């Protein structure tokens, strides 16, 4: 969940590290720090709080060192957010520095062992055992790469690390096990980072390190070795097609708002080239399943966390209706510790924006152990989940920086719909006529979303003032919009800190209705053409008759809804299959605008991090 960046080359190193950290700050922002080699020794500068504090400190540094450096932005796991717990961490003599993303599970044992040998620790972090372990190996006479390799063989847990040593200041070591790490290959310079956007200003050529691999980077070379036995490994260089500007705010006040507005393009990018506009046929060979394998499927199991889990819940409704296969949607954090009832005829679909979420990844690994096939839905090229699946539908939404997931979600819904159409056409569970109808409605979505944002954003901005002081919010939906109620509630709570719950509207009478009074705002999702519309109207009446305040999203011109709800926001008529995409948009905007008027930090909400790579 932390972000790490490393550089070796001839540039002034502080601006590179700060720019890289700025692009990684979404991963954690409790503290930040850098280390670089200057005038024959290592300097470490760290600051509590956001990156801005570190920038201020570095502005007063007064020198412009070149060559080698490491940077870190932290999401605390072991040890409170404090300057002394911020990375980089060093050995006893501060001749060696390490940045780390992950968790060292056996650090208590290692620390005890090292303290007995006389090592002095300065922090409460798990990370600090790593430089001390390396120091031991250096003292035993090993060179830096071998010392790092041997030290890591003693470590249990997850790590992506960067290391450099004052006695070999031309060499940067990177290593990974179960935490993401990408190498950037430049000309006369090389980089390492937790995520691609951090290195995009300087290079688009990357190597994705796999678990159990380490790299020795100098300014002119990059050598990959196995952590197990030190053997050399040949790796391909991949070219990234994102450009650096895509990870900028482009005039928007927040990344979240920019990403909401990017949704028409993100959705289009997800289906473009895959959906034939004439026939509605879908072509996604990248899922790497043969027709026989698709026909032999007995069950689908979707694995995901957070917002991606909500996309999975929508997928359940779609698959069950049009593919006629039973679907289970599982939270990664639960599935990984459950008794599994899946086998080789089960298709697992891990859904993840980042492709690095630890719980989703662990669940995927368990499913693979029992022989299940896996097709990932993911946004980040080369991420671990994609590499451990048989095939991947990339969403092509572009980098998502805001911690609150927006365009990743609606493009996941699009990818799921493509998969449903594809399986439906192959398994003949979907008629050609239905396929054409669904395809036509999906093709209209980018335009509808664009117009919808234009229309509802000003309306929602006004509403946000009225709701800013509420302490609770209920979101109600039925059927395929029930997951969208969950997603709307998640968006509101994560960025505005208002307590919000999503409920299946029919469940209200089993308990939550007791919460309704004139202080409880209720968001109801009620499109007029859904088969549960009448039921939804009854549920709204039940809330109104208990003096609850209903804000309803419904179809343009629906007078019944306008009569029963306190306020309505209208959406264009759309087919059931694409309604989750459209009904998500006003909920994202509401969460955003409420958070803005409450003065919350929209892109970096408290206690959260974008990519959750720890359990």
Question: Which residues are tagged catalytic?
Answer: 2, 610
Kindly indicate which of the ranges 9-17, 275-283, 401-409, 433-441 contains the residues binding ligand M6R, using the contact rule CB under 6 A: 401-409
Residue 360 or 389 having the CB closest to ligand M6R: 360
Question: How many chain residues are in contact with ligand M6R, going by CB under 6 A?
Answer: 15
Kindly indicate which of the ranges 64-72, 302-310, 504-512, 576-584 contains the residues binding ligand M6R, using the contact rule CB under 6 A: 302-310
* Burial letters 274-294, b for 16+ CB under 10 A, else e: bbeeeebbbebeebebeeeeb
Which tokens hold the place of 261? 């507005």
Length of the chain: 615
* Burial letters 514-524, b for 16+ CB under 10 A, else e: eebeeebbbbb
How far from 533 is each of 31, 151, 179, 333, 524, CA to CA, in Å? 49, 62, 45, 34, 11
Exactly one of 179, 190, 203, 357 binds ligand M6R (CB under 6 A); that residue is 357
Residue 343 C-beta: closest distance to ligand M6R, Å:
25
Which tokens hold the place of 551? 């804000």
Residue 169 or 391 having the CB closest to ligand M6R: 391
Residue 346 or 406 having the CB closest to ligand M6R: 406
Exactly one of 31, 85, 270, 352 binds ligand M6R (CB under 6 A); that residue is 352
Percent of residues in the chain assigned helix, strand, coil, to nearest 5: 40, 25, 35
Q: Does 425 bind ligand M6R (CB under 6 A)?
A: no
Residue 179 C-beta: closest distance to ligand M6R, Å:
14
Q: Does 353 bind ligand M6R (CB under 6 A)?
A: yes
Exactly one of 73, 85, 125, 354 binds ligand M6R (CB under 6 A); that residue is 354
Tell me how far apart the alpha carbons of residues 2 and 365 are, in angstroms, rounded to a whole number: 23
Q: Does 178 bind ligand M6R (CB under 6 A)?
A: no
Decide: 399 and 196 in contact? Cβ < 8 Å: yes
Residue 207 or 404 having the CB closest to ligand M6R: 404
Find all residues with CB under 8 Å of 502, minimum gap 6, and list them: 474, 475, 476, 477, 482, 485, 486, 487, 488, 489, 490
Tell me how far apart the alpha carbons of residues 445 and 456 are, in angstroms, rounded to a whole number: 16
Q: Which of residues 308-347 bind ligand M6R (CB under 6 A)?
A: 308
Residue 353 C-beta: closest distance to ligand M6R, Å:
3
Exactly one of 270, 346, 360, 425 binds ligand M6R (CB under 6 A); that residue is 360
Residue 332 C-beta: closest distance to ligand M6R, Å:
8
Decide: 515 and 543 in contact? Cβ < 8 Å: no
Per-residue contact string for residues 478-497; x = within reach of ligand M6R by CB under 6 A: ----------------x---
Q: Which of 264, 250, 342 is nearest to 297 (CA)?
A: 342
Decide: 569 and 459 in contact? Cβ < 8 Å: yes
Please work out, in degrees rounded to the nearest 5, the angle formed at the alpha carbon of residue 615 by the alpha carbons of 497 and 228: 145
Decide: 349 and 377 in contact? Cβ < 8 Å: yes
Exactly one of 77, 269, 392, 405 binds ligand M6R (CB under 6 A); that residue is 405
Exactly one of 13, 51, 403, 484 binds ligand M6R (CB under 6 A); that residue is 403
Exactly one of 85, 307, 425, 479 binds ligand M6R (CB under 6 A); that residue is 307
Q: Does 537 bind ligand M6R (CB under 6 A)?
A: no
Q: Which residue is nearest to ligand M6R (CB)?
A: 306
Exactly one of 224, 375, 404, 492 binds ligand M6R (CB under 6 A); that residue is 404
Residue 7 or 309 having the CB closest to ligand M6R: 309
Residue 32 C-beta: closest distance to ligand M6R, Å:
20
Sheet with 157-165, edge to edge strand ranges? 89-90, 96-104, 157-165, 172-177, 213-217, 222-226, 232-233
Residue 359 or 577 having the CB closest to ligand M6R: 359
Contact residues toward ligand M6R (CB under 6 A) are 305-308, 352-354, 357, 360, 403-405, 494, 611-612
């Amino acid at each position: 969940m932390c972000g790490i960046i490393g550089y070796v080359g001839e540039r002034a190193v502080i601006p590179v590290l700060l720019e890289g950290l700025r692009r990684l700050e979404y991963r954690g922002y409790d503290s930040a720090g850098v280390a670089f080699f200057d005038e024959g020794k290592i300097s470490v500068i760290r600051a509590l709080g956001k990156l801005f504090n570190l920038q201020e400190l570095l502005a007063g540094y007064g020198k412009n060192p070149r060559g080698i450096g490491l940077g870190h932005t932290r999401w605390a796991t072991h040890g409170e957010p404090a300057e002394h717990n911020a990375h980089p961490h060093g050995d006893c003599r501060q001749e060696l520095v390490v940045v780390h993303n992950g968790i060292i599970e056996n650090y208590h044992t290692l620390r005890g062992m090292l303290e007995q040998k006389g090592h002095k620790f300065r922090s409460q972090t798990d990370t600090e055992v790593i430089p001390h372990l390396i120091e031991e190996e250096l003292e035993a006479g090993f060179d830096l790469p071998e010392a790092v390799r041997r030290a890591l063989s003693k470590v249990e847990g997850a790590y992506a690390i960067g290391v450099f040593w004052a006695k070999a200041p031309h060499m940067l070591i990177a290593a990974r096990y179960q935490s993401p790490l990408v190498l950037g290959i430049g000309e006369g310079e090389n980089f390492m980072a937790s995520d691609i956007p951090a290195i995009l200003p300087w290079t688009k050529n990357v190597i994705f390190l796999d678990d159990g691999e380490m790299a020795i980077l100098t300014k002119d070379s990059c050598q990959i070795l196995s952590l197990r036995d030190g053997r050399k490994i040949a790796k391909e260089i991949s070219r990234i097609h994102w450009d650096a500007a895509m990870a900028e705010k482009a005039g928007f006040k927040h990344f979240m708002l920019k990403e909401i507005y990017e949704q028409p393009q993100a959705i289009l990018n997800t289906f473009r080239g895959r959906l034939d506009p004439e026939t509605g046929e879908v072509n996604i060979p990248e899922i790497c399943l043969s027709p026989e394998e698709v026909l032999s499927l007995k069950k689908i199991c979707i694995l995901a966390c957070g917002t991606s889990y909500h996309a999975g819940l929508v997928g359940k409704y779609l698959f069950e209706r049009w593919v006629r296969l039973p679907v289970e949607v599982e939270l990664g954090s639960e599935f990984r510790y459950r008794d599994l009832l899946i086998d080789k005829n089960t298709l697992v679909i891990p859904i993840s924006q980042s492709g690095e979420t630890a719980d989703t990844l662990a669940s995927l690994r368990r499913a693979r152990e029992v022989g299940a096939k896996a097709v990932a839905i993911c946004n980040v090229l080369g991420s671990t989940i994609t590499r451990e699946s048989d095939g991947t539908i990339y969403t092509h939404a572009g980098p998502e920086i805001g911690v609150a997931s927006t365009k990743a979600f609606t493009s996941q819904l699009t990818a799921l719909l493509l998969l449903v159409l594809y399986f439906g056409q192959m398994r003949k569970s979907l008629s050609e006529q239905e396929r054409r109808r669904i395809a036509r409605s999906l093709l209209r979505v980018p335009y509808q979303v664009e117009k919808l944002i234009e229309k509802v954003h000003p309306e929602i901005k006004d509403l946000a003032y009225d709701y800013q002081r509420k302490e609770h919010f209920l979101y109600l939906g039925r059927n395929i919009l029930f997951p969208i109620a969950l997603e709307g509630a998640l968006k509101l709570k994560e960025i505005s800190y208002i307590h919000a719950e999503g409920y299946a509207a029919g469940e209200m009478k089993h308990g939550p209705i007791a919460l309704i009074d004139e202080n409880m705002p209720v968001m109801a999702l009620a499109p007029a053409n859904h088969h549960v519309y009448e039921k939804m109207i009854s549920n709204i009446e039940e809330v109104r008759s208990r003096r609850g305040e209903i804000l309803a999203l419904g179809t343009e011109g629906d007078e019944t809804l306008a009569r029963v709800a306190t306020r309505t926001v209208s959406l264009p008529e759309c087919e059931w299959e694409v309604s989750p995409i459209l009904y998500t948009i006003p909920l994202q905007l509401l969460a955003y605008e409420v958070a803005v008027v409450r003065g919350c930090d929209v892109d970096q909400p408290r206690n959260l991090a974008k990519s959750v790579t720890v359990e």
